[in-house]
Amino acid sequence: MSLFNKKCSWFNMTGNIDVAQYPEYFFYGAVRLDLSSAIRADINRQHFTVVPRHWYIDAWFICKECHEEFCWGKEVQRFWFEEAGTYVWARPSLCRDCWLKYQERKQLQKRYNVLIGKSLKSDSPVGLKQEMLDTINRLEELSTKSLPEQIMQNRQALMNQLK
């Protein structure tokens, strides 16, 4: 057998030539792949060290938050790896809805961290206290676990001040 046999060549080990030979480690954790959806990637736009992603392929994963199956579509992959500059090994762990909720939670948590001290001061504006209260309530809505004790205590303090 020739050393240059396609099956042995480095290019094919990276799945460059044949999508059916595409290494599944790029989709590690996926419950299924639709190889017929495969589109060519522009590897010059990707961030990688050794092996680029040669193909984008519709792939289905289980969301870590809601445990529903979701599709990580080829066009989303193209966006991640060619527009957003995401490193080629990345894979999604959340469905779109859970990801949006996660982003909102992060924003609210940031706002809480910055403003909670100020809003608890007795002379701070009522509007700020109310906003902080709304922020905490929304955080609670978005959280799967109960909020930390400290946040609950601060909410109670704000409610007392707003009476």
Residues in the site for Zn ion, rule: CB under 5 A? Answer: 63, 65-66, 95, 98
Indicate the residue type of 96.
R
* Nearest to Zn ion of 144, 146 (CB atom): 144
Q: Compute the least distance from the CB of residue 94 to Zn ion, in Å.
A: 6
For residues 27 and 127, give the distance between their C-alpha atoms in angstroms, rounded to a whole number: 48
Nearest to Zn ion of 21, 93 (CB atom): 93
CB 136 within 8 A of CB 151: yes
Q: Which is nearer to Zn ion, 98 or 132 (CB)?
A: 98
User: Which residue intervals of 9-125 are DSSP H helices?
Assistant: 10-13, 74-78, 96-120
Query: Least distance to Zn ion from the beta carbon of 36, Å?
Result: 26
- 79 to each of 33, 41, 82, 103, 116, how far by Cα in Å? 18, 11, 5, 18, 37
Query: CA dihedral in degrees (94, 96, 102, 107; nearest 10)?
Result: 150
Residue 109 Cβ, how far from Zn ion at the closest point, in Å?
19
- For the CB of residue 35, give the shortest distance to Zn ion in the complex, in Å: 25
Q: How far apart are CA 133 and CA 49, in angstroms?
A: 46
Q: Which is nearer to Zn ion, 71 or 115 (CB)?
A: 71
